């Protein structure tokens, strides 16, 4: 049998054919394998293909042959990711506001290559990206990578930070001044990605929207604030910060209707103690960073939640209600 022009790519093309055209429910016969290789100008006899299929298993691509009728049918089994797992990844990518629409589609196309063409169609049917609110900062991947590199190298980072103005233009904060921050972690909250770091000048922990960071670079200075972050549980910090807005951490007492028990557990976890008051209400003490966003969260739950203490926070809520009353002239 004369050799084709691309014989040196034989094993690669065989892996591609098996991965794309077969899965748990779709098989391919030996004649079909030979025909598919010929499309790439590669010739092969059955004996060499049997050997190549065994070589693919050594490379981590497990092939199973099943006798059907008078011949064998072959397919890939045991992929790195199962289809339900990839669907979860697709959903996570789609729902992430910090990933641009273009990058979202590019990532999903890459995930599709990890399954057969048949399962790839099932992933495609889940893609509903157009029209969703997405970040417009294409450099976010490089920003995240730079933050991780700085953490690994134990270095500070410098960057500029922007906001949108009423003309829908990017406007640098603090007249374009450079922020000099010690990065200690990344947090995903309310569909946004945040850098959590230590501001040495202010002497406290701060967080920044990653998609609003520009021109990031690693500093020569070593990170500071280790003593703060040794005592910090990052997940706990995110849970206490509503919308990642800062504020004084305080223990808040709430009176909550039983119908909102799920809301409280979803927000603060199952470890909190909910003390029954009567057949309809319970009280709960939770640690939060008190901010206007937290007060707004309590207010949004309506008459089924009441802030009981401490007194200074109750006064903040009353002041906020008076402000709203004056603002809307009720």
Residues 6+ apart with CB under 8 A from 21: 28, 36, 116, 117
What is the pLDDT, as a whole number, of residue 247?
65
The percent of residues above 70 in pLDDT, for the chain, comes to: 88
What is the pLDDT, as a whole number, of residue 246?
60
**Other beta carbons within 10 Å of 79:** 19
Residues 6+ apart with CB under 8 A from 8: none
Q: Note whether 66 and 76 are within 8 A (CB).
A: no
DSSP class of 25: S
What integer is the mean pLDDT of 83-88? 88
DSSP class of 282: E
Q: Note whether 186 and 144 are within 8 A (CB).
A: yes
What integer is the mean pLDDT of 130-139? 58
Question: Could you tell me which of 189, 184, 236 has the C-alpha nearest to residue 211?
Answer: 189
Return the ∠ at Cα 112 (arms to 126 and 68), rounded to 5°: 105
What is the pLDDT, as a whole number, of residue 130?
47
DSSP structure string for 36-52: HHHHTT----HHHHHHH
Q: Residue 217 above 70 pLDDT?
A: yes
Residues 6+ apart with CB under 8 A from 99: 93, 107, 134, 135, 140
Cα distance between the two ends of the chain: 91
Q: Which of 13-27, 100-114, 232-246, 283-297 has the lowest mean pLDDT?
A: 232-246
What integer is the mean pLDDT of 315-330? 88
The residue count for the chain = 330
Q: Residue 201 above 70 pLDDT?
A: yes
Task: Determine which helix (DSSP H) or strand (DSSP E) holds 180, and give its type and residue range.
Answer: strand 179-189
Mean pLDDT rounded to a whole number for the chain? 85
Q: Note whether 232 and 187 are within 8 A (CB).
A: no
What is the pLDDT, as a whole number, of residue 236?
63
Rounded distance between C-alpha atoms, residue 213 and residue 17, angstroms: 43
Q: In which band, very low, low, confident or very high, does the pLDDT at 156 lie, cut at 50, 70 and 90? A: very high
Q: Residue 288 above 50 pLDDT?
A: yes
CA quadruple 58, 64, 67, 70: dihedral sign:
negative
Q: Residue 131 above 50 pLDDT?
A: no
């Amino acid at each position: 049998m004369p050799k084709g022009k691309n014989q040196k790519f034989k094993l690669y093309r065989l892996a591609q054919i098996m991965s794309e055209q077969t899965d748990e429910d779709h098989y391919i016969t030996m004649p079909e394998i030979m025909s598919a290789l010929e499309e790439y100008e590669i010739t092969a006899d059955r004996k060499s293909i049997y050997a190549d299929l065994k070589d693919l298993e050594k490379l981590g691509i497990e092939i199973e042959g099943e006798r059907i009728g008078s011949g064998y049918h072959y397919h890939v089994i045991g992929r790195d990711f199962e289809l339900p797992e990839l669907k979860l990844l697709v959903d996570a990518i789609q729902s992430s506001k910090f990933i641009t629409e273009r990058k979202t589609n590019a990532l999903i196309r890459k995930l599709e290559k990890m399954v057969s063409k048949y399962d790839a169609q099932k992933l495609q049917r889940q893609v509903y990206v157009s029209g969703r609110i997405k970040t417009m900062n294409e450099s976010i991947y490089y920003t995240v990578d730079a933050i991780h590199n700085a953490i690994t190298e134990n270095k500070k980072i410098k960057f500029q930070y922007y906001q949108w103005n009423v003309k829908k233009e990017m406007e640098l904060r603090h007249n374009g001044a450079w922020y000099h921050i010690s990065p200690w972690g990344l947090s995903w909250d309310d569909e946004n990605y945040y850098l959590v770091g230590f501001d040495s000048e202010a002497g406290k922990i701060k967080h920044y929207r990653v998609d609003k960071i520009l021109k990031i670079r690693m500093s020569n200075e070593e990170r500071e604030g280790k003593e703060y972050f040794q005592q910090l549980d990052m997940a706990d910090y995110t849970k206490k910060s509503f919308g990642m807005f800062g504020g004084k951490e305080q223990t808040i007492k709430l009176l909550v209707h039983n119908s909102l028990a799920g809301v409280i557990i979803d927000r603060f976890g199952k470890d909190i103690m909910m003390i029954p008051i009567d057949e309809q209400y319970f009280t709960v003490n939770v640690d939060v960073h008190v901010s206007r966003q937290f007060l707004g969260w309590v207010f949004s739950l309506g008459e089924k939640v009441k802030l009981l203490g401490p007194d200074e926070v109750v006064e903040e809520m009353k002041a906020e209600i008076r402000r709203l009353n004056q603002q809307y002239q009720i």
